[in-house]
């Protein structure tokens, strides 16, 4: 009886803490610099979450080392629900890209849900003499080693999109890394490079001005942000799907009651028409996983997918 009483007493504070949660502000580590699409997206979601939870949800930007600084900080945080992480594709890419990373994407985190996806759009300079994706592929094939595509750096999703294109479409392009996709887009507009695989937030303004052409969006369904652009399947390139995702995670060991409360709250946020529109304005498609386990499955599938592309690219960062 004494043992049972001791165990019950030990369990009560944790359970009570979960039931009362949150009693103070929550911090979300964003492993990106302030002002970018991912940072703005999380701030939109955080503000609404704060309203629903009755406590402020504060953003802490921790950029650096390809987002590894922020990932590592979140992995080492106390698992009490008061420090969360905005996860994104590098969470599952970096273990294959870097010699070492300060976290394990499976063991160190409890997934809550995805928030949004930014499907990549295949864009070119307007001078490219192609009107459809098959015509573009034929044109690239006719110039092996001559067509340059820009990215935001080694192992980035735009870089790996080019690797996937070469594999699926049997093309041979040249990768030109930049310090960010906006810099690559600048050179695309001036025809210094010919192709960029860009997210809608960056591509949309230039598409509207006619400064670039869009051939397809690399997602299973059309993106609400660029509804007139066909999917790669519709355009004739099945097997080419690639996107940047954003999701909310907690440190491993966070009480399940807290994870469930955060999941339910995030569902309310992403179901709000005004929030959906804000995300669309940012070029993002809202994405909510009905159960945290579905996001966990998504991450587990993502790791070998990116590993294969990173290995094919030959990219490695020590």
Strand partners, 60: 29
Q: Give φ, ψ of 202 to 5 degrees.
A: -90, -35
Rounded CA gap, 113 and 267, in Å? 9
Rounded CA gap, 11 and 63, in Å? 37
pLDDT tens per residue, range 263-297: 999 999 999 999 999 998 888 889 999 999 999 99
Residue 99 belongs to domain spanning: 2-118+244-313
pLDDT means per 10 residues, the chain with 318 residues, are: 46 59 98 92 98 98 96 98 97 97 98 94 96 97 96 94 96 95 94 94 90 94 90 94 94 98 98 94 91 97 96 92
Give the pLDDT confidence score for residue 13 in this predicted structure.
53
Where b means 16+ CB within 10 Å and e means fewer, 263-297 reads bebbeebbeeeebbebbbebbbbbbbbeebeebbe
Q: Give φ, ψ of 67 to 5 degrees.
A: 80, 0
Rounded CA gap, 21 and 84, in Å? 14
Residues 257 and 231 in one domain: no
Q: Specify the DSSP class assigned to residue 230.
A: P
Rounded CA gap, 182 and 281, in Å? 18
Residues 11 and 42 in one domain: yes
Q: Number of structural domains, the chain?
A: 2
Give the pLDDT confidence score for residue 204 in this predicted structure.
86
Residue 146 lies in a domain: yes
Residues 10 and 95 in one domain: yes
Q: Which of 235, 258, 281 finishes a domain?
A: 235
Nearest 5 degrees, angle CA 27-CA 100-CA 74? 10
Q: Which of 193, 216, 235 finishes a domain?
A: 235
Q: Specify the DSSP class assigned to residue 173.
A: -
Q: Which of 235, 267, 287 finishes a domain?
A: 235
Give the pLDDT confidence score for residue 283 in this predicted structure.
85
Is residue 89 within 8 A of residue 31, CB to CB? The reply is no
- Global confidence as pTM: 0.89
Q: What is the dihedral of CA 157, 163, 166, 169, to 10 degrees?
A: -40
Residues 103 and 68 in one domain: yes
Residue 24 lies in a domain: yes
Which CATH number goes with the domain that contains 56?
3.40.190.150
Is residue 244 within 8 A of residue 199, CB to CB? The reply is yes
């Amino acid at each position: 009886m004494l043992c049972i009483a001791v165990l019950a007493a030990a369990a009560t504070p944790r359970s009570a803490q979960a039931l009362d949660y949150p009693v103070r502000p929550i911090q979300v580590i964003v492993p990106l610099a302030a002002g970018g699409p991912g940072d703005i997206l999380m701030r939109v979601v955080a503000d609404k979450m704060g309203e629903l939870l009755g406590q402020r949800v504060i953003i802490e930007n921790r950029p650096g080392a390809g987002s590894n600084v922020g990932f590592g900080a979140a992995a080492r945080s106390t698992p009490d629900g008061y420090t969360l992480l905005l996860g994104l594709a590098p969470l599952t890419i970096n273990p294959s890209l870097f010699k070492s990373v300060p976290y394990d994407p499976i063991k160190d985190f409890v997934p809550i849900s995805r928030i949004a996806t930014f499907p990549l759009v295949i864009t070119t300079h307007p001078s490219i003499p192609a009107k459809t994706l098959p015509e573009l592929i034929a044109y690239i094939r006719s110039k092996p080693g001559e067509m340059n595509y820009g990215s935001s750096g080694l192992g980035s999703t735009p870089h790996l999109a080019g690797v996937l294109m070469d594999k699926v479409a049997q093309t041979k392009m040249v990768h030109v890394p930049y310090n960010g996709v906006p810099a690559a887009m600048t050179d695309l507009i001036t025809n210094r490079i010919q192709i960029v695989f860009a997210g809608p937030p960056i591509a949309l303004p230039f598409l509207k001005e006619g400064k670039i052409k869009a051939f397809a969006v690399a997602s299973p369904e059309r993106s609400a942000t660029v509804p007139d652009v066909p999917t790669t399947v519709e355009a004739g390139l099945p097997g080419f799907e690639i996107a940047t995702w954003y999701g909310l995670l907690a440190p491993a060991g966070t009480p399940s009651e807290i994870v469930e409360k955060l999941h339910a709250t995030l569902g309310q946020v992403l179901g709000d028409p005004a929030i959906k529109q804000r995300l669309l304005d940012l070029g993002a498609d809202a994405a909510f996983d009905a159960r945290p386990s579905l996001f966990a499955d998504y991450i587990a599938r993502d790791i070998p997918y990116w590993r294969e592309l990173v290995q094919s690219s030959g990219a490695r960062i020590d």
